[in-house]
């Protein structure tokens, strides 16, 4: 398993250091399947780095400068060099200009503190644990749990099950937390100091929005210039970058922003199973723009044996610190083999400018607990929920804690309710869900994500909210960039021009679509664990994993002693007597993988 695993200890006592380092060596060996490739020791501190191919950036004695994500790039279109990371130790403005995902680890010498910085959106995950007279940070929270000898924390472990990802900075392991966005961590002499290096974004209440033609066109013009700029900078920093191409709006926007003279022959990748509408739409787009198009057939996952599928899902769980669905993660890992390490433009976070949580939400001037509970019930805790029966009598308490965590996150966000939901989308869904997959992928290839560029975020925050709803403004930006692409149908059957200039029939159609979505969301409350449709390929993996469990009497036996799970329901799922959704199988597989790894370190 390829990995970037970075650990640094700040320990005062020599005997404690020796014990911690020994556990670290063993844990890194088990996690990566081989001993650490780089082992650097200082007089007072100890640093372990496991990352193939870093000989040119890790030097001892002398300055250490390690980028935690491959191929980071800064605003202006310049790729970040290893030597640039030293700037992060002294220049806040420089760190703020780097496009996420990004992280840097810096130490000038054995006597100096080790400094770690996170990116402005917190997409490159870095973790911290503190003990008695020592502290350690790592790119792997699971690794820190093994070193500290801690186990699962019931609170974040269960609340994440309802949303499909963590909801705050806590991890599934006791005492291990993830650094938040735009933070700087210093480790020195047995202590950790963590402070924000940049103030929160300006989230003051924005105007309701000028819906007049002039106001609308001005906002679209500004958006078109901004998207063209950030995509151009991405291509300048990584000229060979390909494109994740689907049938949706976000990847279409990226394609529209690529100048026509830079499209021909550019590689595009689509993940889908046969019959998925994404394939037909992506092929039409590729043909129209003369792209070199490749479709990864996810139906091949159905050919894996049950044992192979279980191993693949377990590996995906360990790579993601057991924080997100490893079944969906295994699908991404399978697709990653087709990239061969080549960078890809990704449309993640385009929805930040499309009012992702706006449907059904009032434009209230402030956030209230009633609004948070409503949003949690209808949108956040229904997208990928597990079957709450696995929590038994703890089910209601799990849901209460999840809502309380969302309330805590929203308390720090000022402005009107729609604006707060935008920031919640960025700070929770993107940071915890997309950030986890970005952190995994960024160890193997360049993740090029223009919609996290500071210029795009600034435009999206300033755009009038009345124009963003229903993707109207976003579609208008696409139309300005490439009118021809705006006339081709999306996977929904609609065209971007229909979204940009909604007629009465279009508005009626949107109301019907929203009503259907609302009914589906309501049905999730009646049928717990049903959730959204799993990603392509995930259903086949789910079926294979459950078959593997059913053939082993001890399957999931490690989970039956967890107080927050109903042992009878877990046993029924493991034996195949109870059907389980993809989200439920993924959640149980992640817990089992984490407990198995922690047990291996103690043997």
C-alpha closest to that of 332 among 249, 433, 239: 433
Q: Say if residue 522's pLDDT is above 80.
A: no
Write the CB contacts of 278 (distance below 8 Å, at least 6 apart in sequence): 246, 247, 248, 270, 271, 272, 491
| Cα distance between residue 46 and residue 7, in whole Å | 8
Confidence of residue 67 (pLDDT cuts 50, 70, 90): confident
Confidence of residue 206 (pLDDT cuts 50, 70, 90): low
Q: Say if residue 212's pLDDT is above 80.
A: no
The CATH number of residue 129's host domain is: 3.60.20
Q: Say if residue 275's pLDDT is above 90.
A: no
Same-domain check for residues 360 and 319: yes
H or E stretch covering 58? none
Task: Please give the pLDDT value at position 409.
Answer: 86
Least confident of 19-23, 57-61, 450-454, 589-593: 57-61
Q: Say if residue 511's pLDDT is above 50.
A: no
Q: What is the mean pLDDT of residues 295-321?
A: 95
Q: Say if residue 53's pLDDT is above 70.
A: no
Higher pLDDT pick, 573 / 507: 573
Q: Say if residue 144's pLDDT is above 90.
A: yes
Same-domain check for residues 419 and 280: yes
C-alpha closest to that of 6 among 43, 33, 37, 44: 37
Could you say which DSSP state residue 121 is in? T
- End-to-end CA gap in the chain: 22
Q: Say if residue 515's pLDDT is above 60.
A: no
Write down the residue that tokens 């607990």 correspond to: 369
Q: Which of 501, 529, 549 is the last residue of a domain?
A: 501
Task: Please give the pLDDT value at position 290.
Answer: 97
Asked whether 35 and 25 are in contact (CB, 8 A), the reply is: yes
Same-domain check for residues 167 and 101: yes
Write the CB contacts of 190 (distance below 8 Å, at least 6 apart in sequence): 10, 11, 12, 133, 134, 135
Higher pLDDT pick, 386 / 345: 345
Q: What is the mean pLDDT of residues 320-341?
A: 91
Task: Please give the pLDDT value at position 521.
Answer: 41
H or E stretch covering 4? none
Same-domain check for residues 162 and 227: no
Same-domain check for residues 47 and 153: yes
Same-domain check for residues 178 and 300: no
Write down the residue that tokens 């820190």 correspond to: 144
- Please report whether residue 573 resides in a domain: no
Q: Which of 196, 222, 253 is the last residue of a domain?
A: 196
DSSP assignment string, 300-324: GGGGS-HHHHHHHHHHHHHHTTT-S
- Please report whether residue 412 resides in a domain: yes
Q: Say if residue 244's pLDDT is above 90.
A: yes
Q: What is the mean pLDDT of residues 575-588?
A: 95
**Rg, C-alpha atoms of the chain:** 24
Same-domain check for residues 158 and 228: no
Q: Say if residue 21's pLDDT is above 80.
A: yes
Q: What is the mean pLDDT of residues 301-314?
A: 96
Report the DSSP pairing between strands 38-41 and 45-50.
antiparallel
Sequence-separated contacts (24+) of 19-24 with Cβ below 8 Å: 20/46, 20/134, 20/136, 20/147, 21/46, 21/48, 23/146, 23/147, 23/149, 23/601, 24/48, 24/143, 24/147
Same-domain check for residues 274 and 414: yes
pLDDT digits (tens, 9 = 90+) for 101-112: 998 888 877 778
Asked whether 205 and 416 are in contact (CB, 8 A), the reply is: yes
Least confident of 181-190, 215-224, 303-312, 578-587: 181-190
Higher pLDDT pick, 382 / 343: 343
Task: Please give the pLDDT value at position 346.
Answer: 96
Sequence-separated contacts (24+) of 196-199 with Cβ below 8 Å: 197/92, 197/95, 197/96, 197/117, 198/92, 198/95, 198/96, 198/120
Q: Where are the alpha helices (DSSP H) in 52-100?
A: 92-97
Task: Please give the pLDDT value at position 58.
Answer: 53
| Cα distance between residue 537 and residue 580, in whole Å | 16
> How long, in residues, is the chain?
603
- Please report whether residue 190 resides in a domain: yes
Task: Please give the pLDDT value at position 203.
Answer: 47
Task: Please give the pLDDT value at position 519.
Answer: 42
Higher pLDDT pick, 134 / 81: 134
Q: Say if residue 225's pLDDT is above 60.
A: yes
Q: What is the mean pLDDT of residues 485-512?
A: 79
Confidence of residue 595 (pLDDT cuts 50, 70, 90): very high
Task: Please give the pLDDT value at position 360.
Answer: 85
Asked whether 207 and 443 are in contact (CB, 8 A), the reply is: no
- Please report whether residue 431 resides in a domain: yes
Asked whether 173 and 154 are in contact (CB, 8 A), the reply is: no
* Ramachandran category for residue 325: left, alpha or beta (phi over 0 → left; psi -120 to 50 → alpha): beta
Q: Which of 501, 536, 552 is the last residue of a domain?
A: 501
Confidence of residue 209 (pLDDT cuts 50, 70, 90): low
- Please report whether residue 545 resides in a domain: no
Least confident of 52-66, 278-292, 424-438, 476-490: 52-66
Q: State the burial class of residue 35 (Cβ atoms within 10 Å of its Cβ: 0-12, 13-18, 19+).
A: exposed
Q: Say if residue 84's pLDDT is above 80.
A: no
- Please report whether residue 555 resides in a domain: no
Task: Please give the pLDDT value at position 100.
Answer: 94
The CATH number of residue 261's host domain is: 3.40.50.620
Same-domain check for residues 264 and 139: no
DSSP assignment string, 516-546: HHHHHHHHHHHSTT--SPPPTTHHHHHHHHH
- Please report whether residue 552 resides in a domain: no
Same-domain check for residues 275 and 343: yes
| Cα distance between residue 194 and residue 132, in whole Å | 17
Residues 352, 353, 359, CA angle at the centre, nearest 5°? 80
Write down the residue that tokens 């901004």 correspond to: 226
Task: Please give the pLDDT value at position 512.
Answer: 55
| Cα distance between residue 276 and residue 600, in whole Å | 41
Beta bridge partners of 65: 106
Strands (E), 151-208: 177-178, 183-188, 191-196
Task: Please give the pLDDT value at position 289.
Answer: 97
| Number of folded domains that form the chain | 2
Same-domain check for residues 259 and 192: no
Same-domain check for residues 68 and 173: yes
Write the CB contacts of 202 (distance below 8 Å, at least 6 apart in sequence): 461
Q: Give the domain extent around 64.
A: 5-196
């Amino acid at each position: 398993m390829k990995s970037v695993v970075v650990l640094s200890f700040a320990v005062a006592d020599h005997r404690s250091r020796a014990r911690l380092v020994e556990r670290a060596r063993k844990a890194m060996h088990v996690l990566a399947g081989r001993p650490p490739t780089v082992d650097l020791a200082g007089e007072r501190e100890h640093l372990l780095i496991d990352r193939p191919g870093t000989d040119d950036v890790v030097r001892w004695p002398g300055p250490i400068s390690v980028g935690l994500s491959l191929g980071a790039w800064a605003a202006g279109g310049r790729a970040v060099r290893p030597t640039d990371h030293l700037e992060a130790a002294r220049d806040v403005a420089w760190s703020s200009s780097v496009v996420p995902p990004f992280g840097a680890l810096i130490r000038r010498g054995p006597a100096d503190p080790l400094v770690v910085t996170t990116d402005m959106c917190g997409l490159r995950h870095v973790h911290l644990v503190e003990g008695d007279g020592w502290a350690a940070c790592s790119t792997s929270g699971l690794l820190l749990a093994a070193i500290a000898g801690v186990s699962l924390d019931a609170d974040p472990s269960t609340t994440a099950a309802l949303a499909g990802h963590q909801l705050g900075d806590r991890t599934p392991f006791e005492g291990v937390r993830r650094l938040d966005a735009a933070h700087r961590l210093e480790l020195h002499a047995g202590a950790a100091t963590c402070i924000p290096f940049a103030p929160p974004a300006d989230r003051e209440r924005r105007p309701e929005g000028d819906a007049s033609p002039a106001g609308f066109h001005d906002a679209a013009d500004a958006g078109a210039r901004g998207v063209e700029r950030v995509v151009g900078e991405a291509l300048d920093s990584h000229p060979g970058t390909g494109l994740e191409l689907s049938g949706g709006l976000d990847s279409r926007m990226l394609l529209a922003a690529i100048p026509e003279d830079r499209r021909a022959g550019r590689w595009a990748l689509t993940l889908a199973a046969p019959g998925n509408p994404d394939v037909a739409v992506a092929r039409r787009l590729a043909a129209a723009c003369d792209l070199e198009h490749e479709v990864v057939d996810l139906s091949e996952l159905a050919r894996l044996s049950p044992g192979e599928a279980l191993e693949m899902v377990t590996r995906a769980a360990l790579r993601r610190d057991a924080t997100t669905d490893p079944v969906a993660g295994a699908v991404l890992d399978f697709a990653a083999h087709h990239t061969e390490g080549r960078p890809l433009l990704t449309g993640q976070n385009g929805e930040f400018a499309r009012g992702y949580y706006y449907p059904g939400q009032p434009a209230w001037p402030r956030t209230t607990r009633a609004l948070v509970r409503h949003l949690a019930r209808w949108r956040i805790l229904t997208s990928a929920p597990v079957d709450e029966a696995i929590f038994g009598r703890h089910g209601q308490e799990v849901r209460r804690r999840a809502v309380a965590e969302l309330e805590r996150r929203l308390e720090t966000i000022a402005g009107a309710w729609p604006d707060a939901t935008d920031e919640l989308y960025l700070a929770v869904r993107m940071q915890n869900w997309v950030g986890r997959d970005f952190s995994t992928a960024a160890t193997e290839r360049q993740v090029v994500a223009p919609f996290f560029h500071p210029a795009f975020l600034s435009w999206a925050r300033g755009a009038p909210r009345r124009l963003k709803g229903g993707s109207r403004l976003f579609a208008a930006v696409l139309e300005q960039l490439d009118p021809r692409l705006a006339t081709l149908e999306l996977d929904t059957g609609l065209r971007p021009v229909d979204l940009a200039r909604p007629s009465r029939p279009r508005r009626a159609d949107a109301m019907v679509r929203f009503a259907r979505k609302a009914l589906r969301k309501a049905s999730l409350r009646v049928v717990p664990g049903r959730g959204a449709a799993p990603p392509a390929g995930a259903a086949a993996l789910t079926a294979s994993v459950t078959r593997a469990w059913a053939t082993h009497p001890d399957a999931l036996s490690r989970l039956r002693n967890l107080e927050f799970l109903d042992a009878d329901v877990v046993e029924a799922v493991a034996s195949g007597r109870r059907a389980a959704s993809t989200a439920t199988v993924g959640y149980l597989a992640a817990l089992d993988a984490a407990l198995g790894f922690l047990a291996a370190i103690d043997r």
